[in-house]
Amino acid sequence: MVNRILAVSTGGLGDAILFSPVIKALRNGYPHAEIELLVSSNIVAEAYASAHEINQIITLDLNRSIFPGKILQFLGFILKTQLKGSYDLGVFATGLNPKMSSILTLSGTIKQRSCAISPPKLPTDFLCNLKLAARYDRNISRNDVFIPITEIALKGVDKALREYNLYVGTDTFVAIYPSVNLAHRPRWRLSSMIKAVHHLKKLMPGKKFAVVGSETEGLEWGELDQQGVVDANLAGRLTITESVAFISRCVLALCNDGGLMHVAGAVGCPLVAIMPYTSPTYAPPGDETMIVSSQNYNNISNRYSNQNKAPFTEDISIDEVCRASIRLIGQQESQVEFGFSTKTGIK
């Protein structure tokens, strides 16, 4: 009898989104069980706080805290579980350190464990998690990826947009997500992204372009976008739930690799995902997704593991990003004349 379930996804927001079909499958398979989600990100906890599939979210800082702190938090969680009673089932996302599930099993925290396989057994993390989800609901599919969208969040979006004289109900939006440049997740240059937006505004008359993301990403964008290419810079002005709600109302999202890129795929927003040097195994969900990546990924991907930031890619052109964007919103490529590139800049 399965009464208590611990679902574990200790990566970032993107990892949690790719794991979400497992959560839905567990709820379908065990409708009366108490399902708790263990995460290591406050953003993930906030994003899934209103998910009716989950009874409780437990947050442990296992990614940013120093090693002794991680051990203490983990042991504290185990001790609390011992006092409350063990979980009947522990379900673990793909890519997790197998030692975690072993420790939780040996300590008696979970009675039975179920772990997703990892690439390259299947080509993407999403497919690995879907395979795990199918153990609990055979009808689960790629369409069951989800992240909650709330009415409260939509009201917050509406309030933020009104400051720019924009409105969810009347304007048509394109979301721009600059993301951050990390060693394991490098990005396309923001100067190139700004030039791409400049061209897309001409090619998509009537569309309003808005930046989403963190406060840091918003400030960085603002420093580079001296001419005010976008119609609104909402990065840092929206909560994570409001960012989700806003992206769900957009006709297109143009995103560097990062958490909100996966959000776009999860809410069904047509997505141009720019993933330079990033492993294809981390591809976002979504049927209307086009991935633009560096041609020299295999030669560069493992070269910057000891650096805080990876170098920007130079071999993704503005041309191909704009073509992918136009194609996704249903315009014919043959009707559009491009003739610009990353190196030559705006014509």
Q: Which two three-digit tokens encode residue 168?
A: 């969810």
- Phi first, then psi: give them for residue 7, nearest 5 degrees: -100, 130
How many helices and strands in the chain, by DSSP H and E?
12, 11
Q: Domain extents for the chain? A: 4-144, 151-335
Long-range pairs for 68-75: beta carbons < 8 A, 24 or more residues apart: 74/103
CA dihedral angle for residue 234, residue 237, residue 241, residue 242, rounded to 10 degrees: -50
Distance from C-alpha of 324 to C-alpha of 45, rounded to nearest angstrom: 33
Distance from C-alpha of 110 to C-alpha of 179, rounded to nearest angstrom: 36
Distance from C-alpha of 294 to C-alpha of 276, rounded to nearest angstrom: 5
For residue 23, count other CB atoms closer than 10 A to its CB: 26
| Residues 67 and 79: beta-carbon distance below 8 Å | no
**Residue labelled with tokens 């009707």:** 335
Q: Which amino acid is at 273?
A: A
For residue 103, count other CB atoms closer than 10 A to its CB: 15
CATH code for the domain defined by 4-144: 3.40.50.2000
Distance from C-alpha of 124 to C-alpha of 19, rounded to nearest angstrom: 12
Distance from C-alpha of 159 to C-alpha of 145, rounded to nearest angstrom: 28
| Residues 57 and 148: beta-carbon distance below 8 Å | no
Distance from C-alpha of 322 to C-alpha of 174, rounded to nearest angstrom: 13
Distance from C-alpha of 321 to C-alpha of 273, rounded to nearest angstrom: 9
Question: What are the DSSP E strand ranges found in the chain?
Answer: 4-8, 34-39, 56-59, 89-92, 113-115, 172-177, 207-211, 232-233, 252-256, 271-274, 289-292
CATH class for domain 151-335?
A: alpha beta
Q: Record the pTM.
A: 0.89
**pLDDT (0 to 100) of residue 83:** 83
Point out the residues of the chain with pLDDT beneath 70.
63-67, 183, 295-314, 331-347
| Residues 151 and 186: beta-carbon distance below 8 Å | no
Q: Which two three-digit tokens encode residue 62?
A: 């296992």
**pLDDT (0 to 100) of residue 115:** 95
Distance from C-alpha of 6 to C-alpha of 86, rounded to nearest angstrom: 9
How wide is the angle at C-alpha 147 spanned by C-alphas 146 and 150, nearest 5°?
125
How far is CA 303 from each of CA 38, 183, 186, 291, rounded to the nearest angstrom?
Answer: 32, 9, 12, 22
Q: Which residues contact 66 (CB under 8 A, 6 or more apart)?
A: none
Distance from C-alpha of 99 to C-alpha of 109, rounded to nearest angstrom: 14
**pLDDT (0 to 100) of residue 66:** 65
Distance from C-alpha of 97 to C-alpha of 241, rounded to nearest angstrom: 29
Same fold, 4-144 and 151-335: yes
Distance from C-alpha of 258 to C-alpha of 159, rounded to nearest angstrom: 25
Distance from C-alpha of 27 to C-alpha of 53, rounded to nearest angstrom: 6
